[in-house]
Amino acid sequence: MTSEYGGERRSTGSSTIALLYAARTARGLGDGFAAIVLPAYLVELGYSPFQIGVVATGALLGTAILTLGVGWLGSSRPLRGLLLAGALIMVLTGVGFATLDSFLLLVILAFVGTINPSSGDIGIFVPLEHAMLASDVDDKRRTLIFARYSLVGGLSSAVGALLAMAPDLFVSFDVPRLTALRAMFFVYAGLGLVGAGLYRLLPDTRPAAKEQASRSALGPSRGIVYRLAALFSVDAFAGGFAVQSMVALWLFERFEMSIAAASLFFFWSNTLAAFSYPVAARLSRRFGLINTMVFTHIPSSICLIVAAVVPDLTVVLVLLSIRAALSQMDVPTRTSYVMAVVTPEERPAAASVTAVPRSLASSVSPVLAGAMLSTAFSGLPLLICGSLKIAYDIALLRSFRHIRPPEESRSLSEPKSSVTEGSRKQIA
């Protein structure tokens, strides 16, 4: 197989994909329980919902800056080395959260570390893994590969959410609750070590020397990437009001839900989200990537809006479950679309530039959501999230419904080059 990244011939495409799937599994397990344990841990330390929102904001803001850096470095540096560095940061993050209790130090650690208050796949690993995956597949298989990648991540996050019940189990054996919560962050660090071991087995892919010297991180697709980034930032700003940690905190505060009950719920909701990924790949082949993104997203946002005002916990959980089954279908389709409408050399930077505004925008929302949770109408963050996401979906459909990726162009008997170049000129 010829790798589009760096122009090197590679016979290990399948093994590379398998290793990336395995590493995504390890990260998903950690992210799955960390998003639930984090607010419970901070509550146990005596911090308010507003302070918890500050920690979540710090995590998302730091993630954005680190993601931007590795995305640009990924255009000229070996991807394996950057992934190993990210795994080391994950280890240090877990150890730090397990041993620190100063609010200022926790905010700093959240900023420089890999802790993920969201149920989505964000962070420094994303642009690097996406670029490696895209380099090993053709256009027809690209969305399927990303759907499987998201499925693996979603299922592992679901299992991770189930592991969040472990502190309550430890408490039943007379382990202090704070100690039990701290232990989960050591587990998080251990999963970082597992990821590092898997990344070491990846091929040491390097950019071709003649391309490295001459190419810029973003070239002919700059206009497309920047406009997509702007729209994605609106979606992310909205999503920041309802990241998993804040939804868990909302359930804790409004319905007095236990961490064990919350972990069981998020296990099933993350499982529903995970199995939506291959469904999204099938829908995209029939209806197109943009249509699949938009027309699955809008109903999920309506469910979130209704959940914000319903007083019954059972109805709320049903609505949130429906939302989980629909809201993540845009993840593999969005990633595939970005990788499709840029050149191979631009993929690491494109993945980073579209991911970073998402993290930056979403980093503002949790602190606002934390403040709103203390008001008379604690469901306000969910209401704002759903409304803004619907506005984003309408804007995305209007702006990009005519900009088709190569595989959709071929299905319409249009030459790939003419559609791709025409799309870039239209957006630019």
For residues 139, 141, 147, 150, the Cα torsion angle rounded to the nearest 10 degrees is: -80
Q: For the residues 77-88, what does the mean pLDDT come to? A: 87
Sequence-separated contacts (24+) of 136-140 with Cβ below 8 Å: 136/1, 136/3, 136/10, 136/13, 136/16, 136/17, 137/13, 137/17, 139/340, 139/405, 139/406, 139/407, 139/410, 139/416, 140/407
Q: What is the pLDDT of residues 226-266, one digit of tens each?
A: 899 899 999 989 998 998 888 999 999 899 998 889 999 99
- Which of 370, 402, 133, 354 is CA-nearest to residue 253? 370
Q: For the residues 43-56, what does the mean pLDDT come to? A: 92
Confidence band (pLDDT; 50, 70, 90) for 204? confident
Return the pLDDT at 4: 42
Tell me how far the alpha carbon of residue 140 is from its chain's centroid. 23
Residue 167 CA: distances (Å) to CA of 118, 162, 164: 20, 11, 7
Question: What is the rounded CA–CA span in Å between residue 314 and residue 224?
Answer: 43
Buried b (16+ CB within 10 A) or exposed e, 4-20: bbbeeebeebeebbebb
Is the CB of residue 220 less than 8 Å from the CB of residue 425?
no
DSSP at 164: T
Return the pLDDT at 217: 63
Question: What is the rounded CA–CA span in Å between residue 397 and residue 349?
Answer: 24
Residues 6 or more apart in contact with residue 418 via CB below 8 angstroms: none
User: Is residue 16 over pLDDT 80?
Assistant: yes
Q: What is the pLDDT of residues 328-347, one digit of tens each?
A: 888 888 888 888 888 877 77
Question: What is the rounded CA–CA span in Å between residue 269 and residue 271?
Answer: 5
Which of 117-121, 122-126, 283-287 is the least confident region? 117-121
User: Is residue 150 over pLDDT 80?
Assistant: yes
Is the CB of residue 365 less than 8 Å from the CB of residue 241?
yes
Question: What is the rounded CA–CA span in Å between residue 28 and residue 66?
Answer: 19
Q: List the structure tokens of 364.
A: 């503002």
Question: Residue 288: left (phi > 0), alpha (psi -120 to 50), or beta?
Answer: left
Question: What is the rounded CA–CA span in Å between residue 373 and residue 355?
Answer: 27
Question: What is the rounded CA–CA span in Å between residue 253 and residue 382?
Answer: 14
The residues facing 9 across adjacent strands are: 2
User: Is residue 137 over pLDDT 90?
Assistant: no
Residues 6 or more apart in contact with residue 336 via CB below 8 angstroms: 142, 143, 146, 284, 289, 405
- Compute and round to an integer the Cα radius of gyration of the chain: 21
User: Is residue 351 over pLDDT 80?
Assistant: no
Return the pLDDT at 13: 60
User: Is residue 413 over pLDDT 80?
Assistant: no
Domains and CATH numbers, the chain: 13-203+221-427 (1.20.1250.20)
The residues facing 2 across adjacent strands are: 9
Residue 363 or residue 193, greater confidence: 193
Tell me how far the alpha carbon of residue 154 is from its chain's centroid. 10
This prediction's pTM: 0.71
Question: What is the rounded CA–CA span in Å between residue 101 and residue 268?
Answer: 31
Residue 156 or residue 335, greater confidence: 156
Average pLDDT of the residues of the chain: 83
Return the pLDDT at 409: 60
User: Is residue 104 over pLDDT 80?
Assistant: yes
